Structure 1
Amino acid sequence: MDATFWATVALVIFLGIMIYVKVPGMITKSLDDRADRIRDELEQARRLREEAQELLAEYQRKRKEAEKEADDIVTAAKHEAELLVGEAKQKTEEYVARRTALAEQKISQAEREAVNEVRANAVDIAVAAARKLLADRVDGSVADSLFKSSVQDLKTKLN
């Protein structure tokens, strides 16, 4: 018998042992298990992808909301700044008006004081001139009679 015959017999015996030990069932079961694992992994990957898309959509929505909120804050800040500038201008104008009015009051008061001082000086000068004239022109007896008449006039005006 030649070597091919014995090789064929050995192959048939080997295949028989394999079938007896249920190697094809094990291989099939192993392949089915692997296919199930791959199917589960694909399903899990699909779920993860859907979750990632949901998260992406949520983050994009949050980003848009944050951008809108930031725009609102910037708009509010600009509006508030405009109000503050307007208020500052108004306060400055009021301050300048008050300071101008105060300066005008001080000027008019200084004018009144100057006029009063000039009048007082004029009265003092007139009194001094009248005294000198009277002293030069009136003698002692006339001065006494003028003094007495002035005292009498004063008494009648006071009573």
Structure 2
Amino acid sequence: MITATNTYREWHQVPPLTWSTTIATEAQTYAEVLAAQQCDLEHGGVGGECLYGMSTYPKPDWSCKRAIDAWYSEVKLYDFTVPNPYDYNIPRGTGHFVQLVWLSSSVFGCGVGKADVPMSRMPGGYGGCKVVVCRFQSGYKASNEQLLINVLPRVSH
């Protein structure tokens, strides 16, 4: 997960993040809370928080890679050329991407929660849900000026 995150950040000319055990523990605790609520995604009131959830049969694995990739995929909705990037891009659903590549973020941590969920059409009547919670410090600042400074375009490789 940290490798994928830092690869995406490198593509956007920003320094790699370092892992915080403290932040990861907090994210893990919150992921378990959400999983206990059948993986209903609701932000925990913490800035710099990205959430990802899925319900599947068979039950999902513990990996965070799909979440990181999903968040980065929002790049295709982001327009780096507009003078008002917050006003234009955030309503288009790019907030996870913005946080992932935010220049001023330096540390992060993630947690995963899983739970059994009823799926009446599946063998045994149950599948699983998974929630990934990642928290970044510092979280992105909601303004056009800050996005111009902290969200850089991808460089060619």
What's the TM-score once normalised by structure 1's chain length? Answer: 0.14
Q: Which has the larger radius of gyration?
A: 1
The structure carrying a bigger helix percent of its residues is 1
What's the TM-score once normalised by structure 2's chain length? Answer: 0.14
Structure with larger RCO (C-alpha < 8 A, sep 6+): 2
